[in-house]
Amino acid sequence: MYLFVIKDLHEKLINQEIASEQLTSDYFAKIEEKDPEIKAYLSLNKEFALDKARAVDKKIKKGEEIDLLAGIPFAVKDVICTEGIVTTAGSKILENYVPPYDATVITKLKERDAVILGKTNTDEFAMGASTENSAFQITKNPHDTMRVPGGTSGGSTAAVAADECVWALGSDTGGSIRQPSSFCGTVGLKLTYGTVSRYGLIAMASSFDQIGPIAKTVEDAAIVLGRIRGRDPRDSTSMPTADKNFEDGLTGDIKKLRIGVPKEYFEGKGLDPRVREIIEKSIQKYKSLGAEIVEISLPSGKYALAAYYVIVPSEVSANMARFDGIRFGQSIGAESEKTGADYTLWDIYFKTRAKYLGREVKRRIMLGTYALSAGYYDQYYIKAQKVRSLIRKEFEEAFQKVDLIIGPTAPTPAFKIGEKMEDPLEMYLADIYTAPANIAGIPAISIPCGTIEEGGKHLPVGLQLMGKWFDEEKILNAAHVFEKS
Ligand code: GLN
C-alpha cells in the first residue's frame, strides 16, 4: 500500500518502489471498480496516460530529475480543453467536440509530465450546484451514494474523494470548487481572479471563472497552485507572478494571525444548525492554536447572490452565443443533410440551441439577455455591478482589520439527488457563502472540518477561509495548520 498524496507518491517513484505505469494502471483499475457506481468520469484517457507514465519511468531510470507532479495521475473537469480528447462541458451541444488545442493549464501540467487519467463530470457549462445538470450522467457522492457530490466540479471532487485520482482540476465561478469539496470532504482552492490563465477554459462568466486544484490535502493543493499559475499572453486578465513553491510556505505558524468572523454569516435561517456547530468549534480550534478571532461585519454580503444571478447570466448570455450550430459542436444543420430538411440560418440557430442546450443554460441565457436589454440594463445589470463594487469595498475594509475571514463553505451538508432540481432558487442558495469571493475576486479554500451523521452515513462539512487578493500563501498555511491539528 502507498499513500495517495503527491509527495509520498513522488518519493516512491524516484526511489523506484513503484513505476508510474503501474500506478497509472492501478488507478484505471480503481476507476473500473468504483466508477460504474460513482460516475465521476465522462471519459478516460488510457492510451495517452500510459504513454506519459512510461515516458516518466524512462526518465527516472536514466536518473533525470522529475517534477513533483510527474508521473502522478490526475483528473480534469470536462470544461477544460484537452487537445485530441473530447471536451463536452457536460453538454449535448459539445458531445463530440474534440479541441484542437490544450488549455494553458493543461500545457503547463503536460510540461511537468503529469498524467491525465480522464475528464470528469460537470453541470452543463458549469451552471448548477449538484452536477445533476450534466446532460450525461448523475455523479454520486462517495460518502453517501443517495446524495449529490455538489457542483459543478462534482465529478472532480467525487473522483478525489473516492481515490479515483490523486488530485483534480476544477473551476469555480460562484463556488464550484469549494461547495463540492465541502460535500465530498476534499480540499478545494479557488484562486484570486487572474492567478491562472483562463485560456482553454470553456467560459461561463468570464469575470468570475477561475481554474483551481481539488486535492486530499492542503499541501497537495499548494503543490499544484505553484505549477499552474502565471501570466499568459492569451488571457489578458492573467497576472504576472514570480515562481514560487507554495508548499514551502506551509510553516505551521499562525500566531498573530487575525481571523475575522462575519456576524452576518451566522444570522441567516438557512444555515443548518449542525453545520453551524461544527464551524463554531472550528473557530474555537483556531483560537486554541493561537490565532486571534475578531468579529467583523460584511453587511452587503446579503446581496451577493442576487447580484451574482444578474451579472453571471448576463455574461453567460454573451458567452453562450458562440454555440450557434455553425461554429462549434452539434448542429441541426448537419442532420438536415440526412433528412433533406431545408433550414434557414435562423432555423439552424434556434433549432440547434433548442435541441442541444439544457434547461438551466436556457434559463440563464434568457435571464441574462433580459438583464442586458435596453430599458432594463440600468435597473438590473448596472445596479448589480454597483453592488459588486460595494461588496469588494467591504472586503477591502475588512482585510485592513483581519488577515483571513472564516465561515462555512455551504449552508448544509450534501443534499439528496433530486431534492433541489425542481426549484432553481433553492439550488442557487447552495452558493450563498461561496459566491462573495468570486464577486470580489479574492482567494478562498474549503477544507474538511467535521462530519454530520445521518442515516448511518458520515456527511462531510467544509470550512471556508477567504483571504486578501493574491494572499493564497496565508490561506494555505492557516488551512494546513488546521488540517494537521
Ligand atoms: N452554483 C453556481 C452557479 O450555478 C456556481 C457555479 C460555478 O461556480 N461554476 O452559477
- Residues in the ligand 1 pocket, defined by CB under 6 Å: 126-129, 152, 172-176, 204, 312, 431
State the Cα–Cα distance between residues 155 and 232, nearest whole angstrom: 27
3-class secondary-structure state, position 405? strand
The alpha carbons of the chain give a radius of gyration, in whole angstroms, of 22
* Ligand 1 center–CA 211 separation, angstroms: 13
Pocket test for ligand 1, best of 204, 308, 310, 412 (most atoms within 8 A of CB): 204
The rounded Å distance from CA 204 to ligand 1 centre is 9
Res 2 pLDDT > 70: no
In the prediction, which pLDDT does 340 show? 85
Shortest-distance Cα residue to atom 5 of ligand 1: 174
CA pair distance 373, 360, nearest whole angstrom: 20
- Closest atom of ligand 1 relative to the 430 alpha carbon: 1
Cis status of the peptide bond prior to 152, with omega within 30 of 0: yes
- pLDDT, tens digit (0-9, with 9 covering 90-100), for 281-337: 999 999 999 999 999 999 999 999 999 999 999 999 999 999 999 988 899 988 777
Pocket test for ligand 1, best of 173, 179, 428 (most atoms within 8 A of CB): 173
Q: How many residues does the chain have?
A: 485
Q: Which residue spans within 160-266 are E strands per DSSP?
A: 167-172, 187-190, 210-215, 258-262
**Ligand 1 midpoint to CA 431 (Å):** 7
CA distances from 78 to 32, 126, 361 (A): 19, 9, 16
The pick from 91, 127, 201, 309 for probing ligand 1's pocket by mutation, whose C-beta has the most ligand atoms within 8 angstroms, reads: 127
Of ligand 1's listed atoms, the one at least distance from the Cα of 176 is 8
When comparing pLDDT for 333 and 440, which is higher?
440
Cα distance between residue 485 and residue 291, in whole Å:
13
Split at pLDDT 50, 70, 90, the class of 3 is: low
pLDDT of 470-482, one tens digit each?
A: 999 999 999 999 9
Ligand 1 centroid to residue 317 C-alpha, Å? 15
pTM: 0.97
- Higher pLDDT, residue 336 or 357: 357
Mean local confidence (pLDDT), 73-96:
97
Kindly tell me if the per-residue pLDDT of 1 is higher than 60. no
Mean pLDDT for the stretch of residues 394-423: 97
CA-closest candidate to residue 247, choices 199, 213, 283, 297? 213
- Helices (H) and strands (E) counted in the chain, each on its own, are 16, 11
Q: Which residue has the higher pLDDT, 77 or 337?
A: 77
Measured in Å, residue 353 CA sits from the centre of ligand 1 at 21
Of the ranges 64-78, 322-336, 415-429, which one carries the lowest mean pLDDT score?
Answer: 322-336
Instruction: Tell me the per-residue pLDDT of 241-290, one tens digit each, with 9 for 90 and over.
Output: 887 899 998 988 899 999 999 999 999 889 999 999 999 999 999 999 99
End-to-end CA distance of the chain: 25
Mean pLDDT of the chain: 96
Q: What percent of the chain has pLDDT over 90?
A: 94
Query: Could you tell me the sign of the dihedral formed by the alpha carbons of 463, 468, 470, 474, in that order?
Result: negative
Q: Which CATH architecture has domain 1-485?
A: Alpha-Beta Complex (3.90)
The tens digit of pLDDT for each residue in 111-142 reads 999 999 999 999 999 999 999 999 999 999 99
Whose cell is 454573451? That residue is 318
Q: Is the pLDDT of residue 389 over 80?
A: yes
Cell numbers placing 182:
465541502
Query: Residue 126 Cα, ligand 1 centroid: separation in angstroms?
Result: 6
Which residue's C-alpha comes closest to atom 2 of ligand 1?
A: 174
- Percentage of the chain exceeding pLDDT 70: 99
